[in-house]
Chain A
Amino acid sequence: GENVEQHPSTLSVQEGDSAVIKCTYSDSASNYFPWYKQELGKRPQLIIDIRSNVGEKKDQRIAVTLNKTAKHFSLHITETQPEDSAVYFCAASTGRNYQLIWGAGTKLIIKP
């Protein structure tokens, strides 16, 4: 079945610097790739998503890129701020049963 690997498990960056989190997926039929942010004690919330018919999507300081050939996608956060500190999860879906296959998560730490 589908498998999603996420790296790194922990990422510490200086405030104002950029952060990049990478995910790879195994099922070439995957066509939807969301990213979720989960703050401590809170529920996961969608921050950005991308479908397989586009290669890149931006929303202010956040961008996601998709390489279908290599079967990987990445989250880019620029000009990081303290409120970006959280756990970020990538996911992939083929659309079957509307299920999301989740990555293991990345704890992002923004150092002041």
Chain B
Amino acid sequence: SAVISQKPSRDICQRGTSLTIQCQVDSQVTMMFWYRQQPGQSLTLIATANQGSEATYESGFVIDKFPISRPNLTFSTLTVSNMSPEDSSIYLCSVSSGTWNTEAFFGQGTRLTVV
């Protein structure tokens, strides 16, 4: 199993500013994923972050808006840049141990409100 500490748990931000979300895992993991979840909705994958390489972004998400860092096998950050009210959502990080099709573990989420 993997235990993920995600910070902050919630924040209220002014439009035009940026917020960096951190995820710390208690073990080394190959793959880290960043999701967005609107209230009452499913999980939408933003990007996949591998250590030592650039993140891979899904359609509709770009690096300039959601820069990601993955400096080592236990840590990653997602920045939401130049925020607008449409960015208000829950952001979740998730990890997979990298073994074929094993359980995905999630951070507790960051509830972001942009005013």
Q: Which residues of A are interface residues toward B (Cβ below 8 A)?
A: 31-32, 34, 42-46, 49, 51, 87, 89, 93, 95, 97-100, 102-105, 107
Compute how far the CA of A46 lies from the CA of B1 in the bound complex, rounded to whole angstroms.
Answer: 11
Identify 20 new A-B residue pairs, CB closer than 8 A, beyond the known A45-B106, A46-B103, A102-B42: A31-B101, A32-B101, A34-B103, A42-B108, A43-B109, A44-B106, A51-B101, A89-B43, A97-B31, A97-B48, A98-B30, A98-B98, A99-B33, A99-B45, A99-B48, A103-B42, A104-B41, A104-B42, A105-B40, A105-B42
Number of A-B contacts (CB under 8 A): 45
Q: Which chain A residue lies CB-closest to B43? A: A102
CB nearest to B93 among chain A residues: A43
Instruction: Tell whether, in the assembled complex, residue B43 and residue A93 are in contact, meaning their CB atoms are under 8 Å apart.
Output: no
Whether, in the assembled complex, B76 has its beta carbon less than 8 Å from a beta carbon of chain A, the answer is no
Interface size on B, residues (CB 8 A): 21
CB-nearest residue of chain A to B100: A95
Q: Which residues of B contact A32 (CB under 8 A)?
A: 101
